[in-house]
A = this chain, B = another copy of it.
Amino acid sequence: MMEYPLRPIGYLRSTLRALDEAPRQGLEGAPDAWLEVSPAFVQGLLGIATGDEVIVVTWLHRADRDVLEVHPRGDPEIPLAGVFATRSPHRPNPLGLHRVTVREVSSGRLRIGPIEAIDGTPVIDVKPVLVDSADA
């Protein structure tokens, strides 16, 4: 089977230390975090400014990649659904999509939030939100 190697462009530094603390979907209480970009990729930040809305793509490194069905929201009363019909972190390629605001741009790092991802989460990509397009 073909595989493609993802290389983290940086890591999140957050006060969230454990999955249990992370809210499942709501944003109430999700903190801001620092995205520390690795030196090799800092050049790619040129043009990102405070106030920008961006999509941060993370690799949910603690997820179980062998899961194909889950009870939505972890509730056993809810019938099983395929992971592609849910936002479960457990899925074959555990990518997280986080729409956040850039709070501050510093040397080689961005303050972003709110974001429900734990400290140390690898970051794979950052993209601007396109307001005049149906792109995600």
How far does the Cβ of A118 sit from chain B's closest Cβ, in whole Å? 16
Name A25's contact: one of B1, B27, B48, B133 (CB within 8 Å).
B133
- Counting contact residues on chain A (CB < 8 A from B), the size range is 35 or more
Q: Does A69 contact B (CB under 8 A)?
A: yes
B residues less than 8 Å from A41 (CB atoms): 68, 92
A19 contacts B by Cβ under 8 Å:
no
**Across the interface, do A134 and B80 meet the contact criterion of CB distance under 8 Å?**
no
Contact surface of A with B, Cβ cutoff 8 Å: 1-9, 25-27, 41, 43-48, 52, 54-55, 57, 59, 61, 68-69, 80-87, 91-93, 95, 97-100, 114, 122, 124-130, 132-136
